[in-house]
Amino acid sequence: MANPSFIELAKNSTGDGSKTIEEIVKLERKIFPKHESLSASFHEELRKKNCGLIYLEVGGEVAGYVMYSWPSSLYASITKLAVKENYRRQGHGEALLKAAIEKCRTRKICRVCLHVDPSRIPAVSLYQKLGFQIDKLVECYYSSNRNAYRMYLDFDD
């Protein structure tokens, strides 16, 4: 398999950047249920001042991506983390998440937060492996019958 490469998408992407965004939007539609997907508003999300996107290419195709934001100088949020099914369980999600955390660290924030469905055990395990702690269970976060853990990672420095 080809070596993976991480690419931070620039705000003013044109040409190949828009092709990549369309590939990511397709992936977003495929992975997330319609009410959780940002596919309809992905371009608007990327235009936000405090938003970042890092994606992973393997063999010329997008294998996964992570979207993050820093709404204040105190904390950042992991908005989305997705890896194509055939690239899962190979460390790509972990590598993407670490890259996003490092980007957030450069913003001098104190905490990174995220939400995850408790039934997504591999995702919860990944977040805990990287030091995220469960803050609380948020009932009906995704829908009337789907809850979420609110998780956080505090920086010591």
| pLDDT tens, residue by residue, 111-132 | 999 999 999 999 999 999 999 9
Number of domains in the chain: 1
| pLDDT tens, residue by residue, 61-112 | 889 999 999 888 889 999 999 999 989 899 999 999 999 999 888 888 899 9
C-beta separation of 58 from 87 below 8 A:
yes
| pLDDT tens, residue by residue, 7-56 | 666 544 444 567 788 888 888 888 887 777 676 677 777 778 888 899 99
Name the helix (H) or strand (E) containing 113: strand 111-116
Strand order in the sheet with 75-83: 5-8, 51-58, 61-69, 75-83, 111-116, 146-154, 133-143
Residue type, 14: T
Per-residue pLDDT at 15: 46
3: left (phi over 0), alpha (psi -120 to 50) or beta: beta
77: left (phi over 0), alpha (psi -120 to 50) or beta: beta
| CATH number of the domain enclosing 131 | 3.40.630.30
Cα(91)–Cα(79) distance, integer angstroms: 19
Per-residue pLDDT at 157: 58
Per-residue pLDDT at 66: 93
Per-residue pLDDT at 143: 87
Cα(103)–Cα(68) distance, integer angstroms: 9
Q: Residue 42 belongs to what domain range?
A: 5-154
